[in-house]
Amino acid sequence: MSPVRRATPEDTGELLRLRQVLIDSMAGANTDTGWQSASSSTVTARLADPAETFAAFVVDHPERPGALAALAVGTVEYRIGRAGNPHGRIGYVFSVATDPDARRRGYARACMEALVDWFREQGVGQIDLTASADAVPLYASLGFVRQPDPFMRLRL
């Protein structure tokens, strides 16, 4: 298997392409790709800052030079501490995707393991994510468990 590495600014285009693969896989998702050009400069800047609380771990595509096979992306957020997480550092995984022609090779697992290790290095006390039904077995095998979450959202 190709080694996992931390994404660099040069990976921005491929990172955004795989993010769209993830979006396209969700029922009822908006498949308009116009957001990618607007997002590119922000993602590039965040990948360029080693002190950033944002990280992406990727595997290069073994058959397509310059392309990515898989990625796992997350960020560290702060909440006021509590029992079980007194420092309030929470990891949030928000994008795990594998190129359709590179699936079932362990790439997403390898990227997730690297991301979890990075979260540990950042002093994170818990990691949250939203899982599709297809991804639940992967996350469960890594120790994630379903939570009764009264999650709500306001779009601005």
pLDDT tens per residue across span 60-118: 999 999 999 999 999 999 999 999 889 999 999 999 999 999 999 999 999 999 999 99
- Is 43 in contact with 55 (CB distance < 8 Å)? no
% of the chain beyond a pLDDT of 90 = 67
Mean pLDDT of the 38-58 span: 91
- Is 94 in contact with 72 (CB distance < 8 Å)? no
pLDDT (0 to 100) of residue 16 = 95
> Across the chain, what does the average pLDDT equal?
90
- Is 19 in contact with 72 (CB distance < 8 Å)? no
Q: Within 10 Å of residue 51's Cβ, how many Cβ atoms?
A: 4
pLDDT (0 to 100) of residue 32 = 73
Mean pLDDT of the 36-57 span: 90
Residue 74 CA, distance from chain mean position: 5
pLDDT (0 to 100) of residue 27 = 66
> 155 to each of 48, 93, 140, how far by Cα in Å?
28, 20, 30
For the chain, which residues make up each domain, given as ranges? 4-141
CATH classification code of 4-141: 3.40.630.30
pLDDT (0 to 100) of residue 1 = 53
